[in-house]
Structure 1
Amino acid sequence: MPYEPRSYRSLYTQKDLIHFRVLVEETDLDIAVRKERYDLKLEKLIYSLVQEERELLKDYIKKDPLFLSSLEPYEPFLNAPPSAFEMSKAARLAGVGPMAAVAGYFSEIAGKKLATYSSEVIVENGGDIWLKLKKTRLVGIFAGSSPFSNRIALQINPNLTPLGICTSSGKVGHSLSFGKADAMVILANSATLADAVATAACNRVKSEQDLEKAVNFALEIPGVIGALCILGDKMAAKGNIKIVPI
């Protein structure tokens, strides 16, 4: 599966917010906060947070390698770090392995930490987003070669946030997927959950006939409030979700 450079980030920069990047190994966060709340210390804070959480998770995986490789729900050891329990909990609801939730988890912990400093926060990690808003904003949809790609967006109202918005694709990116969707987008009360459900729902899409089934599957999971699935020039969407052209 080809890796898609994250050039899409420049398309959706919020002009009234300050954006900065935190990169720790494979965790690559694009972060936006209110301009008056930005301080270089925030970058260092999130870098340290991500680094510490990654080290705890990596050390745990050395003791429990099945946590890394399992493609089905998996119960971590009792001495596992909080990240393992949070990822496993979300993965259990979705019916996938715990690593399906890792990108959403790191978006979420960074976002929650920054929300104590800024009233508006957007954290994006390879298409997996945690956000808290004070005004209505648009979240663009990237769907590879689909004609919908970069032409539609989700309109997110502040009253829906904090919110996780995560995307899985069978054609774009480097994450493991058994589906063929150009984009499976999930809105949930947790980015960790949204990430796991996006993977599970995307896995169910083999043809255009599966779009509605995948969306319905996602919405049956507690905590999921909206779902959108794109394959070629076909799209299905349901739940508390508003799509607008861009």
Structure 2
Amino acid sequence: MSCEPRFYRTFSSSERWETYRVRVESTDLYIRTQGNHAFWVQKKVCELRKVLTQHIQRQPRFLESLTPVPGVRGMHPMLTAMHRASELAGTGPMAAVAGAIAQWVGSGLQRWSREVIVENGGDIYLCLQEAGTMSLYAGGSRLSGAIGLTVEPAQTPVAVCTSSGTVGHSYSLGRADAATIVSQDACLADAVATGAANLVGSEQDLEKALAYALNIPGVLGAVLILGDNLAVQGDVQLVRT
């Protein structure tokens, strides 16, 4: 899997935080923290990737399956979280991998930084002291970049994960331009975003996909975009950008 340029990223730093990038093979992280902790992040990502690789050698279906696979005793906590998320979402466990790495890196960074943003291929883990707004990217939709999602400090740490059938290299069974899920569990947000995007083949599927997402325990809100159609439900604060 190759790394793709993340054209929505900006690397300007400020008094609030430093902004930097960490790449390890196909893992490509965009990070904002107080201070630059790239060396620690690189070591952590290498550790997590090794855990994942070793488990896949033990259980190849963990990598290949598009549906939940049986749990294995003695799994690393990150893998256990991915497994649980896949069971709740009805997806394969690798549907949660980007969110998992974002959360495990982001939670570790909270030891040194009061504010943390870790983005991994459109899946974001946040811990904020002041409100922040992120634009929603939805490919060729006219809504892409025109609306944003505001996150309040009291909601964090939280994950905002997006899947798409029209943008990026991730495999999707649907046609959604964006399926964005909010949850305090990044593994769950990532897996449910995949599941919701898979369900959207036409405008008529948006309500069904929303119902699927919001009926899963731990999902706080969902935003679905298909062309010029927008469907929103749950604890989500949208703004014009």
Equivalent AA in structure 2 for residue 232 of structure 1: G
Deviation at 1:99, TM superposition (A): 0.2
2:233 is aligned to 238
Match runs of 1:63-78 below 5 Å? 63-78=58-73
User: How far did 1:80 drift?
Assistant: 3.0
Identify the residue that residue 9 of structure 1 maps to in structure 2: 9
1:23 corresponds to which residue? 23
Aligned counterpart for 1:96 among listed residues 67, 91, 104: 91
The answer to whether the Cα contact below 8 Å between 1:67 and 1:76 also exists between their aligned partners in 2 is no
After superposition, the CA RMSD in angstroms is: 1.4
Deviations 1:178-200 (A, max 9, x none): 01000000000111110000000
Letter paired with 2:229: K
Question: Offset of 1:13 from its aligned partner?
Answer: 5.8
User: Is 1:154 the counterpart of 2:154 in the alignment?
Assistant: no
Instruction: Specify the code of the residue in structure 1 equivalent to 2:179.
Output: M
Note the 1:68-217 alignment, pairs <5 A.
68-217=63-212
> 2-side partners of 1:165 and 1:90: how far apart?
15
1:75-133 per-position Cα deviation (integer Å, ceiling 9, x unaligned): 23213333221101111110110000000000000100001111100000010000000
Distance apart, 1:14 and its partner CA: 6.8
SS in 1 for 2:8: helix
Q: Which moved more, 1:228-237 or 1:215-224?
A: 215-224
Q: Distance in 1 between matches of 2:74 and 2:157?
A: 29
- Looking at structure 1, the residues matched to 144 and 93 of structure 2 have their Cα atoms a distance apart, in angstroms, of 28
CA contact (8 A) 2:97 2:187 kept: yes
TM-score by length of 1: 0.93
1:165-213 Cα deviation digits (max 9, x unpaired): 0000001011111010000000001111100000001111010011122
One-letter identity of the residue aligned with 1:243: L
Letter in 2 for 1:29: L
Conserved in 2, the CA contact under 8 Å of 1:169 and 1:183?
yes
**8 Å CA contact 2:78, 2:104 repeated in 1:** no
- Within 1, Cα distance between the matches of 2:13 and 2:169? 26
Task: Determine if contact 1:23/1:47 at 8 Å carries over to the other structure.
Answer: yes
**Could you report, residue by residue, the CA deviation over 1:114-160 in whole angstroms, capped at 9, with x for unpaired residues?**
01111100000010000000001101100000001111100111111
Q: Which amino acid aligns with 2:235?
A: N
1:14, 1:193 → 2: CA distance?
30
Q: 3-state SS of the aligned residue for 1:243?
A: strand
Aligned identity (percent) is 47
Give the letter for the 2:103 counterpart.
E
Going from structure 1 to structure 2, the CA distance change for 1:174 and 1:133 (only over 3 Å counts) comes to same
Work out the CA distance in 1 between the residues paired with 2:80 and 2:43. Answer: 21
Q: CA deviation at 1:5?
A: 3.0
> Tell me, which stretches of 5 or more residues in structure 2 are unaligned?
none
